[in-house]
Amino acid sequence: MPDVIEPDAIEITDINHLNHQRFENWSFSQDFCVTCGLCSSTCPVSGIDNFDPRKFVRMISLGLEEQLVESRWPWICTMCAKCEKVCPMGIEIASLIRGVRSLRDREKVPGILHKGLAAAIKTGNNLGLPQDDFVFIIEDVAEEIAEEPGFEGFTAPIDKKGANLLTTIHNKLVNTHTEDLKHWWRIFHAAKEDWTVPSENWEGTNWGLFTGDDKAMKIMVGRIVENMEKLEIKTLLWPE
């Protein structure tokens, strides 16, 4: 004989709290889901915290906004898009993840993601590194290269107007990984490239991609375009 479940042990979901129309204007094809589960089979995160992409997509369709926005699920996903690759219905699952990320209160975005982005919007880079310090680091690393055989006279041109190529810089390369600045610079030297680095708004990362912040992303991209036009550069290299 089956155990009798005590009524107190059952949690009742008030169906009136569900808003099935909540995501109906999202154009990621989420309502085409046939619940086949291919996405969940290929996902590297399936099983962690009971997450799997199929569940996530179904919850979007059901309009379970609060549960999704408050959960860790959209943040432990790496947005690698294997799920999208195998989805027979062409559902844009990684975009759904990013969409839910965008709904999180900015102060509750995990880790340093939003803090770094906020610093970038305010100062031009994720570190809040002042212009003088940036220029000092660039010149210092350039001097180190100039001491290497074959690189005599090497300099890193800053804000060179009319240069052929401008490169952005990943903030970690002017922070803890300055050695990694040198690879591209050595190649530019060997290729006799006419290149430059901007002294302001050089940040190559754009964490709005991860936090779902389109507005911030546009600001960051706009600043790079501004640098290109102000300095009259022909080619943009954005290695990040």
DSSP state letters, 159-226: S-TT-SEEE-B-GGGGTT-GGGGHHHHHHHHHTT--EEB-SSS-B---THHHHT-HHHHHHHHHHHHH
Select from 85, 161, 218, 230 the one that contacts other proteins (CB under 8 A).
Answer: 85
Residue 233 touches other proteins, criterion: CB under 8 A: yes
Instruction: For other proteins, give the closer residue by CB, 64 or 173.
Output: 173
The verdict on 184 binding other proteins (CB under 8 A) reads yes
33-41, 59-67, 127-135, 206-214 -> range binding other proteins (CB under 8 A): 206-214
Which one of 33, 68, 91, 97 is in contact with other proteins (CB under 8 A)?
Answer: 97
State yes or no: residue 110 binds other proteins (CB under 8 A): yes
* Sole window of 4-12, 27-35, 61-69, 148-156 interacting with other proteins (rule: CB under 8 A): 148-156
**Spatial distance between the Cα atoms of 233 and 240, rounded to a whole number of angstroms:** 19
182 touches other proteins (CB under 8 A)? yes
The residue count for the chain: 240
> Is 238 an interacting residue with respect to other proteins (CB under 8 A)?
yes
Q: Which tokens in the block code for residue 83?
A: 């799920």
3-state helix, strand, coil in the chain (%, to 5): 50, 5, 45
Tell me which of 59, 64, 77, 93 binds other proteins, using CB under 8 A. 77
Residue 59 corresponds to which amino acid? Answer: M
Q: How large is the C-alpha radius of gyration of the chain? A: 24
User: What is the b/e burial string over 193-231, where b = at least 16 CB atoms within 10 angstroms of the residue's CB?
Assistant: bebbbbebbbbbbbbbebbbbeebbebbeebbeebeeee
Q: Is 187 in the site for other proteins (CB under 8 A)?
A: yes
> Which position has the token pair 């340093």?
112
Q: Does 22 bind other proteins (CB under 8 A)?
A: no
Is residue 28 at the binding interface for other proteins, with CB under 8 A as the rule? no
Interface residues toward other proteins, by CB under 8 A: 44-45, 48, 72, 75-82, 84-85, 94, 97, 110-113, 116, 149-151, 165, 170, 172, 180, 182-184, 186-187, 190-193, 205, 207, 209-211, 228-229, 233-240
